[in-house]
């Protein structure tokens, strides 16, 4: 039987940091003189910081010099870091530890596959770092989701074939990236948004041990 690897996205799958990303972008938009809504924020999920700023400036019809652009990237991140500074285990999404523990017990390899450059400190803050055999994040990739690069690197590091990997994702771009990598995509969130996911659950409370078992032995 072929070994199965499990890859988790971070923001919106393991921790509810999407709300902090949103607040930091919203603050910047306000400073630049326009509104940034929760609906628009959907487009930012799974998307790199640089690409998010490009989309934000498009929304606000703002033209930026290279200097402005770099300054706003730093400003948004510093603001975001203030929000996540005090994060602890209470911000882990429901039943994520149960799923990680189950997989660990089954001795399956586990990776993080995130677009964020802040992934490692967040995992440290919520004390989940030790579950992961490898961390692939925004510091390791050159191509953003929906490009499959982040997940393909994770598979390589886990020494598992891409087609034997399972990916948990909350973002449209992330589901596309998993599908592009020929991996099994599992949407965490609204099925009406994550229409291209192979399976969909609102959150991990809906994912049973039997289901996880079936993924391992498929
Ligand atoms: C993704 C988030 O996980 O990371 C995006 O869904 C975010 O919203 C991206 O823009 C990059 O994160 P960071 O922490 O490097 O700015
Ligand atoms: Mg996400």
24 sits in the region (left: phi over 0; alpha: psi -120 to 50; else beta) called alpha
Domain 18-84 classification at class level? mainly alpha
Per-domain boundaries in the chain = 5-16+89-217, 18-84
First to last CA, the chain: 9
| Residue with CA at minimum distance from ligand 1 atom 16 | 49
Beta carbons within 10 angstroms of residue 202's beta carbon: 13
- pLDDT of amino acid 41: 93
- pLDDT of amino acid 165: 98
Sign of CA dihedral 145, 149, 155, 157: negative
* 45 C-alpha to ligand 2 centroid (Å): 6
* 2 C-alpha to ligand 1 centroid (Å): 32
Helices 209-217 + 96-105 axis angle, to 10 = 40
Both tokens of 157, joined, read 């590091």
- pLDDT of amino acid 217: 76
Catalytic residues: 9, 11
* CA triple 126-185-156, angle to 5 deg: 75
CATH ID of 5-16+89-217, from 3.40.50.1000, 2.30.30.790, 3.40.366.10, 3.40.1280.10? 3.40.50.1000
- pLDDT of amino acid 218: 66
* Residue (of 151, 150, 203) closest to 5 by Cα position: 151
- pLDDT of amino acid 11: 96
Q: Of all atoms in ligand 1, which is nearest to the CA of residue 76?
A: 16
- Residue 8, strand partner residues: 112, 168
Q: Of all atoms in ligand 1, which is nearest to the CA of residue 11?
A: 3
Sign of CA dihedral 179, 182, 187, 191: positive
Rounded Cα gap, residues 108 and 123, in angstroms: 19
- pLDDT digit of tens for each residue in the chain (218 aa)? 579 999 999 999 999 999 999 999 999 999 999 999 999 998 899 999 999 999 999 999 999 999 999 999 999 999 999 999 989 999 999 999 999 999 999 999 999 999 999 999 999 999 999 999 999 999 999 999 999 999 999 999 999 999 999 999 999 999 999 999 999 999 999 999 999 999 999 999 999 999 999 999 76
């Amino acid at each position: 039987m072929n070994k199965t690897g499990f890859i988790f996205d971070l923001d919106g799958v393991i921790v509810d940091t999407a709300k902090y990303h949103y607040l930091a972008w919203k603050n910047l938009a306000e400073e630049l003189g326009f509104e940034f809504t929760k609906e628009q924020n959907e487009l930012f999920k799974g998307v790199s910081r640089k690409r998010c700023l490009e989309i934000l400036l498009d929304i606000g019809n703002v033209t930026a010099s290279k200097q402005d652009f770099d300054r706003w990237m730093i400003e948004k991140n510093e603001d975001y870091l203030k929000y996540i500074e005090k994060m602890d285990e209470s911000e882990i999404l429901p039943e994520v530890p149960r799923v990680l523990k189950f997989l660990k017990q089954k001795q399956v390899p586990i990776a993080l596959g995130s677009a964020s450059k802040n992934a490692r400190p967040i995992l440290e803050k919520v004390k989940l770092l030790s579950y992961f055999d490898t961390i692939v994040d925004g510091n390791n990739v050159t191509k953003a989701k929906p490009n499959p690069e982040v997940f393909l690197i994770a598979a390589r590091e886990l020494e598992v074939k891409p087609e034997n990997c399972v990916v948990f994702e909350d973002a449209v771009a992330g589901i596309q990236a998993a599908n592009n990598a020929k991996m099994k995509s599992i949407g965490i969130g609204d099925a009406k948004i994550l229409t291209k996911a192979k399976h969909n659950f609102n959150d991990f409370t809906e994912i049973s041990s039997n289901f996880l078992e079936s993924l391992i032995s498929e």
